[in-house]
Amino acid sequence: MAAEKSSIKIITLIAADGSVFEVEPNIVKEMKTVQSYIDELDQNTVSIPLPNVFGNDLAMIIEYCKKHASEEETKEAKEEFDFEFVKRMKSDDKLRLLQAASYLNMESFLQFMAKAIAAEIENQSVEFVRDYFQIESDFTPEEEAELRKENEWAFK
C-alpha cells in the first residue's frame, strides 16, 4: 500500500465557506495537520475539509506555500515575495492567518505571521495596541500605575 500512498497526485482542500482548492502533495507538506491526515489514509485521491479556515485565507496560505516550496525561486525572490505578501494585508487579515496557521500546524508560517504582527505593534502607544487587539482595559488607574511601577525600566 505504501507505493500507492505515494502516488497521490492531487489533494483537495475544502475551506469553511465551501470553496475548493486542488493542490499538489508538496504544497501541503508544511501543513502538518493536513499531512498527518493524508498519512493516515490509504487512498489515491484525498479530499480534506478544513472547517476552521476561510477560503480567502486558504488561498493566501497556498500562495505562500507554493512560492516557498519552489526550488527555482532564489532566496531574494522569496524574501521580496514575503515583503509584498505582508504589505498587502490588513491587520485583521494577519491575525486571522496567524490563527489559521496555528490550526494547520504550520510552524514557519506561524512564526512569519507572528513576526509581521509584532512589527506592527512595535513602538506604538498602549492605546494603539489595545485598539489593535480590541482590548478593553479592565484596570483601575491605580492598578495600572502599580504595574507601570513594577516594570518602571520599560516605561520611559
Partner 1 sequence: MLIIKEVNLNEDLDFISQLPDNLLSRIISFLSINEAARTSILSKRWIHLWKNVFHLDFDWANMIKFIPKYYHHRLCKEFFNFIIVAEEHAKKYGEIVNTILDQHVGDDLTSCCFKHFHRNVYDGDFKSWVEFIVESKKLSFLSLECKPPSDTYKTLVMAKFKPKIFSNLCSLELTNYELEGSILSAFESCKKLKILKLKKISMVTSIINGILENCFGLEKFCLIQSYGFDSLKIENKNLKYLELLGLNVKEIDVNAEELQVLVIDSLRCPPKGIRIYSRNLRNFSYACNLIPQEIESQDILRTRDALENCSDLLVYKPINIFQNLLTLSIDLDLNNIRDALVFSYILTTCFYLNTLELTIPVKKVSASTATSDDCALPFPKSMFWENREVSGFIRKNLKFVKVKGFTGKELEVSFVQHLIKKAYMMKKLHVICDSTIMDEAKDLQSLQSASVNLSILLESEYQEYQEDQTSILFMKPLSSLI
The C-alpha atoms of residue 17 and residue 88 are separated, in whole angstroms, by: 22
The 72-111 contact track toward partner 1, x by CB under 8 A, reads ------------------xxx--xx-xx--x-------xx
Nearest residue to 70 (alpha-carbon basis) of 24, 9, 34? 24
**Does residue 153 belong to the site contacting partner 1 (CB under 8 A)?**
yes
The x, y and z cell numbers of residue 135, run together, are 482590548
Identity of the residue numbered 47 = S
Measured from the CB atom, the residue of 6 and 74 that comes closer to partner 1 is 74
Phi, psi of 36 (to 5 degrees): -70, -30
The x, y and z cell numbers of residue 9, run together, are 497526485
Binding piece for partner 1, criterion CB under 8 A, among 14-22, 30-38, 78-86, 124-132:
124-132
Binding piece for partner 1, criterion CB under 8 A, among 3-11, 58-66, 79-87, 125-133:
125-133
